Amino acid sequence: MTAVLARIGDYLRALSGWRLLLASILAGAFYALGFAPLEIFPAMLLGLAALVLLLDGAAARPRPIRWAAAIGWGFGFGQFVTGMHWIFYPFLVDPIAHAWLIPFVATLFPGGLALFTALASAAAMYVWRDGWPRILILAACYAACEWLRGHVLTGLPWNLPAYGWGASLAILESTALYGAYGLSLLTVLFGFSLAELFGRRPRLSLPFAAAALFAALWIGGTIRLATTPQTFVAGVQLRLVQPDIPQDEKYVRRLVRRNWQRLIALSTGPGSPNVIVWPEAAPPVLLQRSPEALEQIAALTDSHRTLITGNQREEIASNGDRRFFNSLYVFASGGVLAGTYDKFHLVPFGEYLPAESLFIRLGITKLVGFPGSFSSGDGPHTMQIPGAPPASPLICYEILFPSAVVAGSEPRPGWLLNITDDSWFGPWAGPRQHLLAARVRAIEEGLPLVRAANTGISAVIDSQGRTVAELGLNRMGSLDSRLPAALPATPYARFGDLLFFVLLVLGAALPLAHSRK
């Protein structure tokens, strides 16, 4: 086995030219198999090890930093074009308007995200040293650039390395301590350390230490899950409505009444919920302009019920200017409007166009078929919910962002409320990846998650990421459940990414100090 691994290592280190770039793309694609829905975490770790071996070869060539940037870009391109292949699906909802953009999206989207892995690889190569120092340096650079990916230009922290552990809830429990970025740092360190096994004289100490660390994380998470019983909030009975309306049928004029009646029928079935949750943009009409819809909401909430729904909101300024928001409404008993929340983290090109006038001249419009760009809210917020504890509402992909799902200046909520329409993310991988990220937010914050999705996956998840109830993908129905209780604030909820930054500094400082010595 040692000889076989050594030959593989020699082969990867010796690659050059287009074969080297192709190998980096394939390594990134192999790495992406660790994410949902496949969740093959050994593939993720081996893909990371391959990246180190390719960079080892670049270190022995002229202009190693340029080679490292190319290798890193190829790895990132393979990762994102494989792991986020669903990104093409939104452009097929209205193919006449948007399908022509698919070839550009197929290259520019993964290619743009791959610049972060190119930066990480080039920065690591700048101080590359043989042996274990290169592993720590690369892990620190890679994790730092993943953090940047989640923040630069509004950020897109989709498929962070931490989510490669979706098959192991016990390991995900550790995000309550240092968050998804902290687990991502340790994950890439583990994967990179495996490169030490692919030499003629394998070095076992670092891979063994990394494996022991993750064994400890698994044991600790297993104990945490076994010793923390599920508890529920007294007097709260939820009903999540999943209408399963395809995106291209939602606003078709002849189907509007059918779509609305489906929401009402699913909300009024057998059972006695006191809080009903509809998904993002569930009503096929603008509620502010539909007295008939508001009358039916008043009837639905008449028996001391609360209805929470997504809908667009219109705001007219004193000068007559109109602004639209992607919003969440809370209707108390009798249809009384108890509060609204406006989405603050909007999707570029989906809900608004940056440099709007320029792109419109180029024939590019936003994906959501609504006039103009949405305006952003000022969230997050803690919102009062009649009949239930206060909640932190989050619309669609707002749930992706670690340490940005709860308002730090407001009272701590009792639960996370995520309404979404994952039909935009395709019928397979995208919704499952989105759900996993939401599940990690519940663990990080120690708060239960209630998630209503148009086409699924709707779910109630407790404060440790355990699924209490779930309604699967592409199914129409309603899901009744009790509301799990919140845990005391976790270390991550109190300190955010502080421990991640401490680990990041240590990961960079130790090999540099060793090099000087």
Q: Where in 230-305 does DSSP place strands (E)?
A: 232-242, 275-277
Q: Identify whether the C-beta of residue 486 lies closer than 8 Å to the C-beta of residue 414.
A: yes
Report CA 295 to chain centroid distance, whole Å. 36
Nearest CA to 298 among 336, 272, 257, 262? 336
- Return the pLDDT at 294: 96
Q: Which residue has 């997504």 as its token pair?
A: 310
Within a 10 A sphere around the Cβ of 348, how many other Cβ atoms? 13
Q: How far apart are CA 349 and CA 299, in angstroms?
A: 38
Q: Identify whether the C-beta of residue 416 lies closer than 8 Å to the C-beta of residue 450.
A: yes
Could you tell me the end-to-end alpha-carbon distance of the chain, in angstroms, rounded to an integer? 35
- Return the pLDDT at 318: 77
Q: How far apart are CA 201 and CA 80, in angstroms?
A: 34
pTM of the model: 0.94
Q: In degrees to the nearest 10, what's the CA dihedral of 288, 290, 291, 292?
A: -150
Is 280 annotated as catalytic?
Answer: yes
Within a 10 A sphere around the Cβ of 127, how many other Cβ atoms? 15
What tokens were used for 288? 């502010």
Of the candidates 39, 145, 250, 343, the residue annotated as catalytic is 343
Of the candidates 39, 141, 196, 396, the residue annotated as catalytic is 396
Question: Residue 150 class from Cβ within 10 Å (0-12 exposed, 13-18 middle, 19+ buried)?
Answer: buried
Total residue length of the chain? 517
Q: How far apart are CA 103 and CA 130, in angstroms?
A: 41
Q: At what angle do helices 291-300 and 256-267 cross, to 10 degrees?
A: 10
Q: How far apart are CA 37 and CA 83, in angstroms?
A: 10
Stretches in the chain below the pLDDT threshold 50: none
Is 343 annotated as catalytic?
Answer: yes
- Return the pLDDT at 329: 98
Reading phi first (left if > 0) and then psi (alpha if -120 to 50, else beta), residue 470 is in beta
Strand pairing category for 415-420 and 477-484:
unpaired
Of the candidates 146, 173, 196, 280, the residue annotated as catalytic is 280
- Return the pLDDT at 135: 95
Spatial neighbors of 292 by CB under 8 A, at least 6 apart, are none
Within a 10 A sphere around the Cβ of 5, how many other Cβ atoms? 16
What pLDDT digit, counting tens, does each position of 239-257 carry?
999 999 988 888 888 999 9
